[in-house]
Amino acid sequence: MGARRAVPGDAIAIATVQVASWNATYRGLMPDEAIDRMTVETRAPRWVDIIEAGHVVFVAVEDGRVVGFCSVAESADEPDTGEITAMYADPNVLGRGHGHRLMGEAIGWFTARGFHAATLWVLATNHIGRTFYEKAGWRPDGVESDHEVFGMSHHHARFRIDL
């Protein structure tokens, strides 16, 4: 088990994890129509573009297979702040430390760039995700916003951690 920087050849595996995670996590929290629009076939080319453009994506690997991923960037909202822009794990490997491993890669990337804090957005009704982030030391900072996901507006809460 480990983590590394993603390469374009990981795009199908990243898309597979994302689709499986969305199906396991967001059914009942978002309309099925939004979840059904996310397919490996539609997401994989997007991940190739993201990685080839130089965006930072880390993958968690177990037995040679990508089982989770985390993308990071400088915050679009605040200067000198990092942001986790996406983080998902294969629902079949939850509880094996991959999320914490990816979180460690993200925090390492942020601190290496001199960021003093980091943020992430989570669907406000995603109690499993919120609990995971809170156990890792992240806290809601009181900022909430409606974000468009596949053409539909969904309420999100921003979490923050001081580095």
Q: What is the CATH number of the domain that holds 77?
A: 3.40.630.30
H-state helical runs in 26-126: 32-36, 40-52, 98-112
**pLDDT tens per residue, the chain (163 residues)?**
899 999 999 999 999 999 999 999 988 888 888 888 889 999 999 999 999 999 999 999 999 999 999 999 999 888 899 999 999 999 999 889 999 999 999 999 999 999 999 999 999 999 999 999 999 999 999 999 998 876 778 899 999 999 9
Q: How far apart are CA 95 and CA 10, in angstroms?
A: 22
Number of domains present in the structure of the chain: 1
67/13 Cα distance (integer angstroms):
8
Domain that holds residue 142: 2-162
pTM: 0.93
